[in-house]
Amino acid sequence: MMRDPRYDVLFEPVRIGPLTAKNRFYQVPHCNGMGRTYPSSMAEMRGIKAEGGWAVVCTEEVEIHHSAEYSPGIEGRLWDDSDIPIFARMTDKIHRFDSLAGIELGYAGTAASNRYSREIPMAPTHRPIDGYDPVQARTMDRADIKAVRQWHIDAARRARTAGFDLIYVYVGHALSIQMHFLSRQRNTRTDEYGGSLENRVRLFREILEETKEAVGDTCAVAVRFAVDEMRGPDGITSDAEGRDIIEMLAEEPDLWDVNVSDWHNDSITSRFAQQGYQENYISFVKSLTSKPVVGVGRYTSPDAMVSLVKRGVMDFIGAARPSIADPFLPKKIEEGRLDDIRECIGCNICVSGDYLATPIRCTQNPTMGEEWRRGWHPERIQPRGSDGRVLIVGAGPAGLECALALGNRGYAVTLAEATKELGGRVVQESRLPGLAEWSRVRDFRQGQIARMNNVEVFLDSRMDAAGAIEFGADHIVVATGSTWRKDGIGRENATPIDGWDQPHCFTADDVMSGRPLTGPIILFDDDHYYIGGVLAEKLRADGHEVVLVTPAADVSHWTHNTMEQGRIQTRLLEMGVDILALHNLVAIRNSEAEFACVYTDRKQVRQCGSLVLVTARDPRDALYHDLQDAPEALKEAGIKSVKRIGDCLAPGTIAASTYSGHRYARELDEPLQSGVPFRRELPQLADEKQVP
Ligand code: ADP
Ligand code: SF4
């Protein structure tokens, strides 16, 4: 297939300083939890982006000096020459596909507390570091400023040696010293680096000029700049200093990569913002510079991309998450395969990898982060290992992904689903406030499977053990999901909560299926991811009085890792949801619910019409156990294996389910591996005789 000529504009080459990018698809810098700790994993992942057609592929933030480091966070590291080979491997992989490699050099200032190096962080004016580490940064004197400038020059030269084409000066996300100098609140200096905007821009300008001088003859020098800190007039705003700064430096860099700050605002989840949410902030930039501009906004629609270029909003379509969910997005547009695009759902599970200092993962793309260590390619999978037929029971994210990947391997697959719809939990959850895009998990797979002759789907087909055995497949995969517990057992309560079995007690499933509830409602959330918070939001929007009670210090606590917690709690408070934190639900007596403070055990009682318990889930694994209990019948029917995947194996995230389904498909008919099932890269041991 050929691409639609409407999209030709996206495939025009664009000059960036001394370089030419082959098209307008630009993978902006993004963290990946692999970086310096899992270097081959990082390099392979970036190489696959290049293979997928991104004309520019960038690193994550790269530390330029040991006095500004994010340990145990895993970012890039270019402290000295010994770090060069890691990046050389990455650039080599990118260059194989004629893409340009970019590196985001950053000096963290107060954004990092130097837990590993134990150096004292530096700031324009002494301040506590960001976050709660008991560390304060010291005020930089002139020699410190000079030193940081030199470190940036050194890092830029090393980056060039490592093969990078595009070298960033990073002034974004409140994660770099240049940005700290810009801030009137962080910078109260009275010398030539503080006070007037001209003075606060000085360090940014100097580093930009010096980077150009050092490497600008052969490399392009890009700036990543946050035009708006989203903090109102106290911060940089796109209609005041953000604009002024672009005006002041308009022609200085070879490229402007512009966004909003901090990262919470830049990478908002789909629950809180739609595709294109940054346009209003950044659209002025192109009118002030002749240099190419790149912006982001979780763009997955080629029509939206074309419109951005045609309307003169940006020259490059920047993407982090859309390139994670589908590294081959450009190729698919180029080849006219729009239905094959795996669209990002905006859940920020990818971000959680970075937050938890572990390799990146993605709800939509189960191969993300597994490219090197498991050899999983997002678009290629090995052919089937036998003519075996596979029956998959349950068409949630796990069953759907399993069917798709097995279908791609060429197996004859039957997918049997009890309900009238595909999608499992995402059918219900995507109807909750803000979660509509989650249906993309189903839509993509449903669309793909519909075109496969070797995958047949039966809806309205509840399977029991006899039916599954009778079906006559070689392999049975049980992907029947999970149900929310009724009895309140969860993290805080190891035994059922006293009084849980009364008629006014409900589960998350009851609420999602529309069971009518009488207010006022108490929702007890001992799950701590998004469901408790989003159900409270829904019930409040339905007009109920709602109290959300949680044993944690704040609502939906785990969503700190998806950068949503602040927004969730703000929204609930603004809607009038009452929040009782740090309390456990200990007993339910008719209309009274008794709570205990998790510290003092001091009790309090609240009245309610209904209680919603969001605690833990039970795997829906009766079918699996029934099959296990019938070994003779399985043998007689010639069934070679019965396995459970996804929530049926152990309830988890949707990302865990797509991964589980994909893994099953990759491993079917493959020799069983003993030991660690993926490749590891071990640190190089130092010479024992080395004198410290
Ligand atoms: P996962 O995230 O593991 O895919 P879900 O709960 O989203 O889990 O999906 C499980 C799916 O399995 C649901 O669509 C459910 O209707 C279906 N299902 C459960 N039990 C059966 C059964 N016995 N036969 C067929 N489908 C079933
Ligand atoms: Fe998008 Fe979620 Fe994948 Fe991140 S994890 S790229 S937000 S689908």
Which numbered atom of ligand 1 lies nearest the CA of 654?
Answer: 2
Query: How many Cβ atoms are within 10 Å of 27's Cβ, its own excluded?
Result: 29
CA–centroid distance, 417 to ligand 2, in Å, is 26
Q: Which of 26, 30, 31, 180 is catalytic?
A: 31
Indicate which residue's Cα is closest to atom 2 of ligand 2.
Answer: 347
Look up 219 and say whether it is catalytic: no
Q: What pLDDT shows up at residue 196?
A: 98
Look up 173 and say whether it is catalytic: yes
Indicate which residue's Cα is closest to atom 5 of ligand 2.
Answer: 362
CA-wise closest residue to 203 among 234, 170, 173, 230? 170
H or E element: which one contains 482?
strand 482-484
Q: What pLDDT shows up at residue 423?
A: 98
10 Å CB burial of residue 189 (0-12, 13-18, 19+) is middle
- The answer, yes or no, to whether the previous bond of 13 is cis (omega within 30 of 0) is no
CA–centroid distance, 382 to ligand 1, in Å, is 27
Residues 6+ positions from 88 with CB-CB distance below 8 Å: 161, 162, 163
pLDDT greater than 90 at residue 406: yes
Interior/surface letters 425-438, b for 16+ CB within 10 angstroms, e for the rest: bbbbbbebebbbbb
Give the tokens for residue 189.
């200096």
When the pLDDT of each residue in the chain is averaged and rounded to a whole number, the result is: 97
Write the pLDDT tens digit of every residue in 547-572: 999 999 999 999 999 999 999 999 99
Write the pLDDT tens digit of every residue in 479-514: 999 999 999 999 999 999 999 999 999 999 999 999
Write the pLDDT tens digit of every residue in 572-594: 999 999 999 999 999 999 999 99
H or E element: which one contains 100?
strand 100-106
What is the C-alpha to C-alpha distance for residues 406 and 414, in angstroms, rounded to an integer? 10
Q: Which of 170, 530, 624, 664 is catalytic?
A: 170
What is the C-alpha to C-alpha distance for residues 367 and 658, in angstroms, rounded to an integer? 10
> Looking at 89-219, which runs of residues are DSSP E strands?
100-106, 122-123, 127-128, 136-139, 166-171
Evaluated on CA atoms 443, 444, 447, 452, the torsion sign reads negative
Q: What pLDDT shows up at residue 387?
A: 97
DSSP state of 347: -
What is the C-alpha to C-alpha distance for residues 239 and 314, in angstroms, rounded to an integer? 18
**Average of pLDDT values for 603-608?**
97
Look up 244 and say whether it is catalytic: no
Residues 6+ positions from 424 with CB-CB distance below 8 Å: 394, 395, 396, 397, 398, 399, 400, 442, 481
What is the C-alpha to C-alpha distance for residues 542 and 519, in angstroms, rounded to an integer? 10
Contact 333, 309 (CB under 8 A): no
Residue 229: φ, ψ to 5°: -90, 0
Alpha-carbon distances, residue 77 vs 35, 135, 366 (angstroms): 8, 22, 27
Q: What pLDDT shows up at residue 688?
A: 81
Dihedral angle at the C-alpha atoms of 210, 211, 215, 220, nearest 10 degrees? -130
DSSP state of 355: H
Which numbered atom of ligand 1 lies nearest the CA of 422?
Answer: 14
pLDDT tier at 2 (50, 70, 90 boundaries)?
Answer: confident
Look up 299 and say whether it is catalytic: no
pLDDT tier at 692 (50, 70, 90 boundaries)?
Answer: low
Write the pLDDT tens digit of every residue in 76-119: 999 999 999 999 999 999 999 999 999 999 999 999 999 999 99
Residue 339 amino acid letter = D
**Average of pLDDT values for 661-669?**
98
Strand partners, 145: none
Q: Which of 173, 180, 264, 583 is catalytic?
A: 173
H or E element: which one contains 50?
helix 39-51
Contact 184, 119 (CB under 8 A): no
DSSP state of 453: T
Residue from 620, 625, 644, 660 whose mutation best tests the ligand 1 pocket (most atoms within 8 A of CB): 620
Q: What percent of the chain is modeled with pLDDT above 90?
A: 97
CA–centroid distance, 32 to ligand 2, in Å, is 12
Instruction: Give yes or no for residue 655 CB within 6 A of ligand 1.
Output: no
Which residues sit with their C-beta closer than 6 Å to ligand 2?
321, 324-325, 344-350, 362-364
What is the C-alpha to C-alpha distance for residues 374 and 357, in angstroms, rounded to an integer? 19
What is the C-alpha to C-alpha distance for residues 272 and 441, in angstroms, rounded to an integer? 18
CA–centroid distance, 674 to ligand 2, in Å, is 31
